[in-house]
């Protein structure tokens, strides 16, 4: 068994190789290239591919992989909006994901973004290194007693709710599913009520047809004026152009994102010597009240080890022909 690992970074190889020691006979070929139609030939001789959030797995790519002899698609991530599930089923491909990995890691990163942007610690760090100890422009708010709205109460959203509750915040949660795990921690609210009442809104939703651009001109207009918006989930949840307009008008007080709708051509690579042609992203970076990180919310030792372990556990299910709880499509 040989696996082609796409979008592979040095840290991916470190943790995947560590987990692979438990599966003798399984070999891996690592490619920094993103999976798309032009890079399918890299999987020649492999019976499985291992992919990440920005790899393309539409019908043409899956058909080309199948023609090469690939029979398994292993996602080392939770999201699968980049996969044509119907095509995969039609081709008889085994497809599996890592549905949850150290959810605390992403929830803690959401808190880090809120704290950094609120107290301007990123700007204070630069000032102090230059010998500037002035406080003007660094004024924040005390989070204790503020209302934080959590949109999406899966494992990550529930962790985030508990963290903010522990800080003394009033926590609202909006989710179509019941949330008994948050009894005594958060108050359930409709999305509109949550947007209207929250000082901070943190998104923890999957990217589905129903959630794409859930933050748009209309929904931003329903937010409390001057509120902070945080997204550590999927970039497509936000209509970036609408958010830029809201930042310009002051309707949105601050924005912190670890994901971006067009991130596939930017994130996980060093573009420090390049001209970035994405004008929307470049406009975002001009705002002093915008903080962007490059999809690092998941990036902890514990999460990376769990991702690798679950990825190879999914592969073992495929090799043994046994049921896999993480298989796609799922109900």
Strand 72-75 relative to strand 27-30, pairing: unpaired
Active-site residue, 234 included: yes
96: nearest Cα among 304, 305, 308, 329: 329
Sheet holding 290-292, edge to edge: 187-188, 170-174, 147-151, 200-203, 227-231, 252-257, 290-292
* Dist CA 149 CA 93 (whole Å): 39
50: nearest Cα among 3, 97, 99, 98: 3
Spatial contact of 49 and 41, defined as CB atoms under 8 Å apart: no
DSSP state letter for 49: E
CA angle, 253 then 256 then 257, to 5° = 140
Active-site residue, 263 included: yes
Catalytic, out of 108, 261, 263, 306: 263
Q: Is 150 exposed, middle or buried (0-12, 13-18, 19+ CB in 10 A)?
A: buried
CA-based end-to-end distance of the chain:
29
Which residues are CB-neighbours of 130 under 8 A, at least 6 positions away?
A: none
The number of angstroms, rounded, from the C-alpha of 118 to the middle of its chain's C-alpha atoms is 21
Catalytic, out of 34, 76, 162, 234: 234
**Which residues form the catalytic set?**
234, 263
């Amino acid at each position: 068994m040989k696996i082609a690992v796409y979008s592979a970074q040095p840290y991916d190889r470190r943790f995947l190789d560590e987990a692979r020691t438990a599966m003798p006979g399984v070999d891996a070929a690592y490619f920094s290239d993103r999976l798309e139609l032009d890079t399918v030939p890299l999987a020649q001789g492999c019976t499985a591919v291992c992919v990440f959030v920005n790899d393309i797995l539409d019908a043409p790519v899956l058909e080309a992989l199948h023609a090469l002899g690939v029979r398994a698609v292993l996602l080392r991530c939770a999201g699968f909006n980049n996969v044509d599930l119907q095509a995969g089923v039609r081709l008889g491909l085994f497809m599996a994901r890592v549905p949850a990995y150290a959810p605390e890691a992403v929830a803690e990163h959401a808190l880090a973004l809120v704290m950094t942007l609120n107290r301007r610690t990123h700007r204070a760090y630069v000032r102090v290194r230059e010998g500037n100890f002035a406080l003007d422009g660094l004024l924040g708010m005390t989070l204790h007693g503020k209302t934080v709205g959590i949109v999406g109460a899966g494992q990550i959203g529930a962790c985030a709710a508990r963290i903010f509750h522990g800080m003394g915040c009033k926590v609202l949660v909006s989710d179509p599913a019941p949330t008994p795990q948050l009894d005594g921690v958060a108050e359930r609210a409709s999305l509109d009520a949550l947007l209207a009442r929250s000082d901070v809104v943190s998104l923890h939703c999957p990217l589905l047809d129903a959630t794409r651009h859930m933050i748009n001109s209309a929904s931003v207009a329903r937010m409390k004026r001057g509120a902070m918006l945080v997204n550590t989930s999927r970039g497509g949840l936000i209509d970036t152009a609408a958010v830029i307009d809201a930042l310009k008008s002051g309707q949105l007080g601050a924005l912190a994102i670890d994901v971006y709708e067009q991130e596939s051509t930017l994130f996980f690579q060093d573009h420090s010597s390049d001209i970035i042609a994405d004008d929307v992203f470049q406009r975002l970076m001009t705002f002093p009240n915008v903080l962007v990180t490059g999809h690092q919310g998941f990036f902890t030792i514990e999460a990376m080890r769990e991702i690798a372990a679950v990825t190879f556990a999914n592969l073992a299910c495929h090799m043994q022909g046994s049921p896999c709880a993480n298989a796609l499509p799922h109900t």
